[in-house]
Structure 1
Amino acid sequence: MWKRLISLSLTFGLAAAGPPASAQMVCGLHESITGTLESTYDEALVGRGLQSATRMLEVWRAAEEGNWTILAVHPDGLACVVASGEAWIDVPPRPAGVAASAYRAAESEE
């Protein structure tokens, strides 16, 4: 995961000096970051939602490798990597009308 974050940082020209890598935010043009996610990490957009009136979150993941990235996208085209990692597992959504506690109990029995 850290290799991916550092690679993205270097790709978008961030200096190595400054706060620790865990505190650095990788930002750039949405087209540039998503192009790198597609070409270098084989990730594809799998979901998005509004976080606020001025920010949308996107989830990108690779189907085979399990790596994933979450982007915060601003109206001006700026995108920032909020988080990235490995071993993504899809979890089916809870059906409408089923209580969360009943759904969790059914999952734990499997």
Structure 2
Amino acid sequence: MKTKTIIFSALAVLIAAPALAQSGQHCAPRDMVVDRLAKKYGETRQSMGLGANNAVVEVFASDKSGSWTITVTSANGVTCLVASGQAFEELAEVLPADGNDA
């Protein structure tokens, strides 16, 4: 998995999820959200992981436009937009050797 993407996703969820849950905005059934991201922005899923309370955190992005979106889907199937932006870039970084913090 792409470490930076997952770390970025986790941080975004920690910051934004409580606000989204309270406001109820920018949320819809997952299939509707995924369809809109694909049709309107050309974004496809690039990575995913499990967050708190078994929420699924996903990163969607377009390799053509560079747009990206982070979503969180709760166990009840409701997906909320957490963050979005431009200039998405896929990275394949190698972890440092054991005992080497650099």
Number of the residue aligned with 1:55: 55
Number of the residue aligned with 1:94: 94
1:56-71 map, 5 Å: 56-71=56-71
Supply the AA of the counterpart residue of 1:46.
Q
Uncovered stretches (5+) of structure 1, i.e. residues with no partner: 1-22, 102-110
**Kept in 2: contact 1:59–1:68 (CA 8 A):** yes
- RMSD between superposed Cα atoms in Å: 1.9
Identity %: 24
Structure 1 window deviating more from structure 2 (44-53 vs 65-74): it is 44-53
Cα distance in 2 for residues equivalent to 1:97 and 1:50: 26
Cα distance in 2 for residues equivalent to 1:73 and 1:61: 17
Deviations, residues 42-96 of structure 1 (Å, cap 9, x unaligned): 0000100011232110000001110000000111110000000011122223236
TM-score (norm 1): 0.64
**Kept in 2: contact 1:47–1:58 (CA 8 A):** yes
Cα distance in 2 for residues equivalent to 1:46 and 1:30: 16
Q: Select the structure with the greater relative contact order (CA < 8 A; seq sep ≥ 6).
A: 2
- Stretches of 4+ aligned residues off by more than 6 angstroms: none
Uncovered stretches (5+) of structure 2, i.e. residues with no partner: 1-22
Count of matched residue pairs: 79
